[in-house]
């Protein structure tokens, strides 16, 4: 469903993505693991049309998304960032924001917000000031904001990087729950290799702008295919 061919991204003189190719089948949880600076966020931002590739193509069900660049493609995807963008409004308004730019009746919005808040475990929080909630709760608001749009593809860029261990588990369980309920295709980056192990159907290890290896968590952790992967997963002496 999502196919990336030979994707490169250059910022000035530095080539941040160096010919990335990747296929993520519909309904897969694919985790990008790799050290800080490897290019994980850049890749996710290109998939979400937040930036333009220097070379290469990204196809969503056969459509070249950067060529089309239309709202229809964009609307099929939702992204959650490491640091959630929370506005100084109620939880309800923060979640409804996901639908504000679409011509949707307020009654429908109310129902979708209620459903999304139920999924993320924030029912009853509608009127609370979003800014007064904890980091983990804010990240759940960000997830709910994306869920109201019924995305086919969920892009999660290190969504637990700033959270305490308990909140990390809550978000991980939520990711699994969303996948289970909606069969959403999920592409999630993390610098935590164990998170990849816990969540992913398949992992891509990104090192220095390229995928060094693809495999199931088991394959990556038992048979890393080079010393960089081995070092990253911590099984090299
Ligand atoms: P990761 O998410 O794996 O930590 P990033 O994709 O954020 O990696 O960054 C990869 C590299 O690209 C880093 O060296 C970073 O400094 C650089 N980079 C990212 N965005 C920009 C930008 N807008 N301009 C210049 N360099 C950038
Ligand atoms: Mg990043």
Read off the pLDDT of residues 65-79 as tens digits, 9 standing for 90 and up.
998 877 788 889 999
* 191 alpha carbon – ligand 2 mean position (Å): 8
Q: How many C-beta neighbours within 10 Å does residue 79 have?
A: 20
Read off the pLDDT of residues 196-215 as tens digits, 9 standing for 90 and up.
999 999 999 999 999 999 99
Is the confidence metric ipTM above 0.90 for this complex? yes
pTM of the model: 0.95
As given in the structure block, the two tokens for residue 72 are 């229809």
* 150 alpha carbon – ligand 1 mean position (Å): 29
Q: Is 205 in the pocket of ligand 1 (CB under 6 A)?
A: no
- CB of 34 closer than 8 Å to CB of 206: yes
Tell me which residue has its CA closest to atom 25 in ligand 1.
11
Tell me which residue has its CA closest to atom 16 in ligand 1.
37
Report the distance separating Cα 18 and Cα 203, nearest Å: 18
Q: Write the DSSP string, 10-42.
A: EETTEEEEEEEEEEE-TT-EEEEE--TTSSHHH
Tell me which residue has its CA closest to atom 6 in ligand 1.
39
Phi, psi of 102 (to 5 degrees): -115, 150
Higher pLDDT, 230 or 29: 29
Q: How many C-beta neighbours within 10 Å does residue 193 have?
A: 20
């Amino acid at each position: 469903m999502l196919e990336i061919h030979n994707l490169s991204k250059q910022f000035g003189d530095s080539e941040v993505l160096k010919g990335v190719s990747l296929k993520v089948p519909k309904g897969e949880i694919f985790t990008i693991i790799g050290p800080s600076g490897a290019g994980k966020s850049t890749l996710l931002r290109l998939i979400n049309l937040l930036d333009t590739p220097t070379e290469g193509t990204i196809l969503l069900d056969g459509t070249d998304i950067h060529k089309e660049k239309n709202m229809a493609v964009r609307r099929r995807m939702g992204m959650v960032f490491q640091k959630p963008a929370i506005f100084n409004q109620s939880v309800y308004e923060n979640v409804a924001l996901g639908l504000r730019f679409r011509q949707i009746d307020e009654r429908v919005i109310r129902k979708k917000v209620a459903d999304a808040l139920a999924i993320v475990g924030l029912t009853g929080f509608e009127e609370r000031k979003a800014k007064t909630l904890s980091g983990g709760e804010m990240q759940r608001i960000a997830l709910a904001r994306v869920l109201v749009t019924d995305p086919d593809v969920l892009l999660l860029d290190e969504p637990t990087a700033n959270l305490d261990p308990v909140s990390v588990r809550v978000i991980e369980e939520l990711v699994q729950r969303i996948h289970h309920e909606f069969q959403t295709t999920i592409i999630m980056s993390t610098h935590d290799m164990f998170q990849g192990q816990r969540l992913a159907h398949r992992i891509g290890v990104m090192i220095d702008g390229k995928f060094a290896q693809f495999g199931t968590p088991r394959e990556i952790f038992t048979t890393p295919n080079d010393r960089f992967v081995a070092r990253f997963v911590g099984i090299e002496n």
